[in-house]
Structure 1
Amino acid sequence: MTEDKSAQHGIQRHDTAGSTRAYVTLVTNEDYGKGAVALIRSLRITKTTADIVVLHTPALGGASREMLTTLGARLIEADLLPLSDAFNARHARRALHGTAPFTKGRKPDFHTPLDNFVKLRLWQLVEYESCIFIDADAIVLRNIDRLFAYPEFSAAPNVYESLRDFHRLNSGVFVARPSVATFSAMLQHLDRPDAFWPRTDQTFLQAFFPEWHGLPVFMNMLQYVWFTMPELWNWQSIHVLHYQYEKPWEANHPKTEALMPLIKLWHAFHDGDALPDLDSLPDPTAPSHLHQPAGQVGG
């Protein structure tokens, strides 16, 4: 295919695609680099045949890049989007959290809201026919290659506290079709005068794709469901586990005790340790779990 120059601007490819399909994640600093290690290892275990692409900003260090490459990822360096100074000021961490504060969980200090918009550069990856984006703070527990055939724009709802949240999408997992025309339209829609996206890329994507297709919550199971809606948790159904808010690699974060079984599972993927039988793990409502000491993950 002939590559449009717009597909090259702002990103640097160092090799060619090995497939027409790709899993894509975004890494904007060293912390999310840790997350990407676990994500890539989890995808490899599912035996996917798709490429695994890491979009990363220049903030990712050389050692982390080498590690991700060793794991078989295709690295593509991505610049921040060309946004106006006024837009950047409105969406800077302090300004954004002051206007639309997080009240249910804690965003870590290394989280920079403006970085989230780099996710839109996925639409510049026109060498791929279909992409599944997965946030770097997630792990894939079962093969989800079938999602490549799903339409744009498919995403799971932002359900982690109440079933009333089914109307809001969560951009931690979504299906997209790269297109220079779509990317150009996104930039025009994104940075309009006085535009404000309180949940950054999530609010924007829901506005840009108002008729988005809903995926099951099990395709993007948010970790808070573990203690807020335990009756919704079922290990045999969960395909992607997403560690929203506090991250599993943070030492002693505020939800450590409540989420310890999920944290230990993430570390097993990250460290390359032996994994438990997912189907035998106790759900949070199971009697065997209720009587376990904090920190145990099944038998």
Structure 2
Amino acid sequence: MAPTKKPFWADQAFVTLATNDNYAKGAMVLGQSLRNHSTTRKLVALIGPHVAEDALHSVFDEVVMVDVMDSCDAANLALMKRPDLGVTITKLHCWTLLQYSKCVFMDADTLVLSNIDELFEREELSAAPDPGWPDCFNSGVFVFRPSKETHEELLKFCTEKGSFDGGDQGVLNSYFNTWATADISKHLPFIYNLSSIAIYSYLPAFKQYGHDAKVVHFLGKVKPWNYSYDAQRGEVKGHSASPDPCQMHPNYLLQWWQLYAASVLPLLQKAYGDGERHEDAREQPRFPPPPSLRLSSAERKQRWEAGQIDYLGDDSFTNIEQKLNSFLK
């Protein structure tokens, strides 16, 4: 007797966001990990206007370009030492996906370890506790229902009250402010959003429960794609900003790179060729921006002065710091 095929839910989707090409790599790894674990839901990627999208179509059912929004909250972002998080407000566009009845949002720096379609049995807003402040939920993984009204209310909330941390997590926790106390069924188990930060802050719990993890979240400034990978040796090579891969838990970091090398890298090479490689041929090629989106210095300056700043791309703190160091030398 043939095994029963799981039904495909065309009106439900996993959704992620990429505001630059590095996060697009992460999104492709996330999407491929969902497919490898036989999800029965559609995959949707929201992307900023400067993201090369050709390869994304190989993994996602739908690629939607959205405007990049920014909280412009330098003070609170400075408290977290993460000026790049302001554009995460763009995540609020996920409520505009009205063609879907229910969705699960997942940050592009997450990796799925097993099938998680059961998350669609939860209601809005279901999420796991944040390891830094457990009475807040972490907005890296959450269940929601697209709604024009909710989207408009969230934008109005941002305008009137802002975000207590300068990013989407502060906005969403303030808007869905009964999450901590109202309905325990909306508290996702931590295994659906296991952060590397929590692994080392409570190692005994990780040893006890870590084998049940379903989603790993690579929280922090340094991401998996900031490292490099020696495919011949099957080893992850350290990053200059964080030379010890163990800060990210080596097993999960290796799984990310193995999936990238086996499934995502061939798609990138097919879409963009090998012309934009790093000096080390064993490392990953960059997403080359489409020719129409390559900005001249004058155009970048004009965008900066107009407040159109690519915090996660060319205008990231890291790139600015490198430019200043070069100038000072």
TM-score by shorter chain over 0.5: yes
Q: How far apart are 1:74 and its partner, in Å?
A: 1.3
Does the alignment pair 1:218 with 2:191?
yes
2:245 is aligned, of 245, 248, 256, to 256
Q: How far apart are 1:76 and its partner, in Å?
A: 0.4
1:240 is aligned, of 215, 223, 227, to 215
Q: Who is 1:166 aligned against?
A: 134
2:63 is aligned, of 55, 58, 75, to 75
CA distance change for structure 1 residues 196 and 144 in 2, over 3 Å: closer, same or farther? closer
Does the alignment pair 1:181 with 2:171?
no
Q: Distance in 2 between matches of 1:101 and 1:45?
A: 35
Quick one: which amino acid aligns to residue 199 of structure 2? Answer: W
Q: How far apart are 1:153 and its partner, in Å?
A: 0.4
Q: 3-state DSSP class of the match of 2:224?
A: coil
Q: Distance in 1 between matches of 2:28 and 2:95?
A: 23
RMSD: 2.1
Q: How far apart are 1:257 and its partner, in Å?
A: 3.7
Quick one: which amino acid aligns to residue 71 of structure 1? Answer: V
The alignment of Structure 1 onto Structure 2 pairs a total of residues equal to 233
Does the alignment pair 1:271 with 2:238?
no
Q: Who is 1:152 aligned against?
A: 124
After superposition, residues 1-299 of structure 1 pair within 5 angstroms as 19-61=10-52, 65-81=53-69, 88-89=71-72, 91-92=73-74, 95-98=75-78, 100-102=79-81, 107=82, 112-159=84-131, 165-192=133-160, 195-212=162-179, 213-233=186-206, 234-245=209-220, 246-251=222-227, 252=239, 253-254=241-242, 255-259=244-248, 260-272=250-262
Q: How far apart are 1:127 and its partner, in Å?
A: 0.6
Structure 1 stretches of 4+ with a deviation exceeding 6 A read none
Q: 3-state DSSP class of the match of 2:245?
A: coil
Q: How far apart are 1:199 and its partner, in Å?
A: 4.8
Q: Distance in 2 between matches of 1:40 and 1:148?
A: 17
Q: How far apart are 1:226 and its partner, in Å?
A: 2.5
Quick one: which amino acid aligns to residue 102 of structure 2? Answer: S
CA deviations over 1:26-80 (Å, ceiling 9, x no partner): 000011011112101100011111110000011202xxx1111112441000012
Q: 3-state DSSP class of the match of 2:211?
A: coil
Q: How far apart are 1:113 and its partner, in Å?
A: 2.1
TM-score normalised by length of structure 2: 0.66
Larger Rg: 2
Q: Distance in 1 between matches of 2:24 and 2:245?
A: 21
- Give structure 2 stretches of 5+ with no counterpart: 1-8, 180-185, 228-238, 264-329
Give the structure with the higher percent helix.
Answer: 2
